Amino acid sequence: MATQIVQSKADTYVAFNSPSGNFSSLSYMYVHRVVTSTAALLAFLQFDIPVLSNKQITKAELKIHCTQKGRHSTIAAAQYAIPVSVNTLTGGTVQSQYIDSDLAYSPTEITSPVYVESANEWIVWDITAIVTNGQGTNDAVFGLSDLTATQSDDTEIWKFSSRESSNIPYIEITYNDAVPDLPTILYPNGDVIEKGNALTFQWKHNSLYDTGQVKYDFGWRQQGNASWTDALGVVTTTQSRTVDTNALPTGIIEWRVRTYNANNAVSEYAYGSFELTGRPTAPIIDTMKNDAITEIAWRSNASETAIFRIWIYQGATLIHDSGNMPGGLKSSYVPNMMFPNGQYTVKMRIGSVYGVFSDESAKVFTISASVPNTPDMKLSVTHGGILITTTSTAADKIVYRSEDDITFIPIGRFSGSEYTDYAVKSDVMYEYYIRAHNGSYADSGKQSIKVKYKGALLSEINTPGDYIEIYKSDSDWYNSIKSKFSNEAELVKYEGRAYPVKESGIHKETGVSTSFYLSNANAEKIGLLYDKNGIYLFRNSEMCFSCEINELSYENTLFNAGKNVEISLSQIDYSLEVRFDV
């Protein structure tokens, strides 16, 4: 700890009732009455505040010798924005130009309950904050004023010694050598870094009082090791260090840094850590099954295969992209599509749990499976559905259907001679073809057909042919159905905006509700259907979707001959398409 004394370079007092009086040559200064009084007396002092580089100011005090204490007065000290020498001030110039130039006040206020005519005391005001923020300010002006609103006589006047006396006013600054605070770790910290590249460690030197970093100590170690690999006393103001990651082991790496200032004072160590991981070894692609429903097999290190991605090209055209798929459990992949005979290029990468991918592997394969005979197809309407029949002897047959004559999707798979499609709307034209699969595949010609049924049909998804017919007793062809739709959205109110802001999500809700008549036998059947608590298929002339039964109720009617049924359904995400990857 050290101190520095800064003596006043100029001082004076002014009297508002003497507008042109200049008292800078006197050995004393008067302070009396508030500044709003026409007879106020104020004292002003001027100092050159030094710059204390790399020092922490712990205390700064304004000290002025007092020769008379006034009773019932409160004396305050403040910094003023007066750009001229205080030796030139008069009561008139202060009143007209600088009466509102006070900037910052000392927290110290001096009072005396009694009048002391012959005082001999150094009065002290705390000005630590003012001096700390004003380092390097020349001709800084401090003023003394009386805060007491009511004064009556001269026994309330304070009298202070000026620099023209033997007791020169001064500022005493107490300080320590500044010590840097703990550095801030910027990067890497908690990150996963791929080995093989240069890595720049970054930090921030922290101190309120010094001029910045002049050198640092840096070190790293693998987690679990007791010793550090250190670089000590690196002289630079740059707050970073670049290391070749090939020189570091894989695993969790801990690192530390501490910084020095110009006083050679050093901070404590700040610590960070990160995981250094190597790039996974590229997989070895072994086989592509010689089948239209193909399967790709490979070998890779299971511990490195958290995810994988496969691309399949025919020539230069990408025809399949698996996207990122979870790996490690198996080393094969079945694309959800069928491939005709031909030559294909399979490309593949695997990725670690940190998202670091291997180099790309690639291999060319040829699918040349036997092609079955072209299947025939016959369409007919059955009760509540469409019957597809064929004489094809292929062991595996897939039914494709289109509602727009453009996009065909696989909706059924069978091995026998017929398949019934119950997931159809009433009075809607559908187009079908059969794909016979036996190694490779062959497609039948396309045919169109539609079915018409009364009202709506409801069944369990796995037994679509066992359905309930929904229609009112007073109409064979019309059934009142109420539909309800909603999107995920919220209206959020923000400060500064008159109206709420809509924030949308991706989720939707679709529901239908209706009421209808059933015989007692069918009412019992719908009750059993509901008890299955499964997934249900609802269809009519406008919609066909998988759903949940939210609510089912009924009451007796027609002298207990049947039931009036009320039901509500919610659409759910359940695909009716055939998948080849399961």
CATH of the domain at 404: 2.60.40.10
Q: Do the beta carbons of residue 54 and residue 62 sit within 8 Å? A: no
Last residue of a domain, one of 144, 159, 177: 177
pLDDT, position 445: 97
- Rounded to whole angstroms, the Cα distance separating 142 from 411 reads 91
pLDDT, position 150: 63
Confidence of residue 375 (pLDDT cuts 50, 70, 90): very high
In degrees and rounded to multiples of 5, residue 521 shows phi and psi of: -65, -45
Does residue 474 have a pLDDT over 60?
no
How many folded domains does the chain comprise? 5
Provide the 3-class DSSP secondary structure of residue 35: coil
For residues 84 and 118, state if they share a domain: yes
Q: How far is CA 358 from CA 308, 309, 403, 444, 450, in A?
A: 10, 11, 43, 43, 52
For residues 312 and 351, state if they share a domain: yes
For residues 104 and 185, state if they share a domain: no
Residue 216 lies in a domain: yes
Contacts of 27 (CB under 8 A, 6+ apart): 161, 162, 164, 165
- Rounded to whole angstroms, the Cα distance separating 310 from 345 reads 10
Strands 270-277 and 192-194: parallel
Q: What's the pTM?
A: 0.65
Residue 581 lies in a domain: no
pLDDT, position 197: 87
- Rounded to whole angstroms, the Cα distance separating 321 from 315 reads 15
Contacts of 294 (CB under 8 A, 6+ apart): 288, 334, 335, 339, 367
Neighbours of 201 (CB within 10 A): 21
Residue 310 lies in a domain: yes
For residues 38 and 173, state if they share a domain: yes
pLDDT, position 478: 62
pLDDT, position 557: 84
Residue 372 lies in a domain: no
Mean confidence (pLDDT) of the chain: 93
Q: Which residue has the tokens 């709420």?
A: 500
pLDDT, position 355: 83
> How confident is the model over 161-209, as pLDDT tens digits?
999 999 999 999 999 988 999 999 999 999 989 888 899 999 999 998 8
Average pLDDT over residues 546-568: 90
The CA-CA-CA angle for residues 562, 565, 566, to 5°, reads: 170
For residues 24 and 157, state if they share a domain: yes
- Rounded to whole angstroms, the Cα distance separating 182 from 196 reads 31
Closest CA to 566 of 478, 461, 482: 482
Closest CA to 384 of 448, 469, 449, 479: 469
Residue 382 lies in a domain: yes
Last residue of a domain, one of 348, 367, 386: 367
Give me the domain span that covers residue 210: 181-277
Residue 228 lies in a domain: yes
- Rounded to whole angstroms, the Cα distance separating 470 from 491 reads 38
The Cβ-side half-sphere exposure at 71, using a 13 Å CA radius, reads 9
For residues 133 and 55, state if they share a domain: yes
Does residue 224 have a pLDDT over 80?
yes
pLDDT, position 188: 97
Last residue of a domain, one of 237, 259, 277: 277
Neighbours of 561 (CB within 10 A): 10
Q: Which residue has the higher pLDDT, 209 or 233?
A: 233
pLDDT, position 530: 94
Residue 582 lies in a domain: no
- Rounded to whole angstroms, the Cα distance separating 363 from 344 reads 8
For residues 301 and 257, state if they share a domain: no
Neighbours of 159 (CB within 10 A): 21
> How confident is the model over 103-150, as pLDDT tens digits?
999 999 999 988 999 999 999 999 999 999 999 999 999 999 999 866
Share above pLDDT 90 across residues of the chain, in percent, rounded to a whole number: 83
pLDDT, position 241: 97
- Read off the CATH number of the domain in which 146 is found: 2.60.120
The Cβ-side half-sphere exposure at 552, using a 13 Å CA radius, reads 16
- Rounded to whole angstroms, the Cα distance separating 195 from 198 reads 9
For residues 544 and 479, state if they share a domain: yes
> How confident is the model over 27-38, as pLDDT tens digits?
999 999 999 898
Q: Do the beta carbons of residue 341 and residue 290 sit within 8 Å? A: no
Average pLDDT over residues 399-411: 95
For residues 527 and 382, state if they share a domain: no
For residues 231 and 262, state if they share a domain: yes
Closest CA to 444 of 433, 455, 452, 453: 433
For residues 266 and 289, state if they share a domain: no
Does residue 477 have a pLDDT over 60?
no
Q: Which residue has the higher pLDDT, 135 or 559?
A: 135
Q: Do the beta carbons of residue 105 and residue 143 sit within 8 Å? A: no
Exposed/middle/buried for residue 179 (C-beta within 10 Å: 0-12, 13-18, 19+): middle
For residues 408 and 528, state if they share a domain: no
pLDDT, position 155: 75
Residue 577 lies in a domain: no
Average pLDDT over residues 225-239: 96
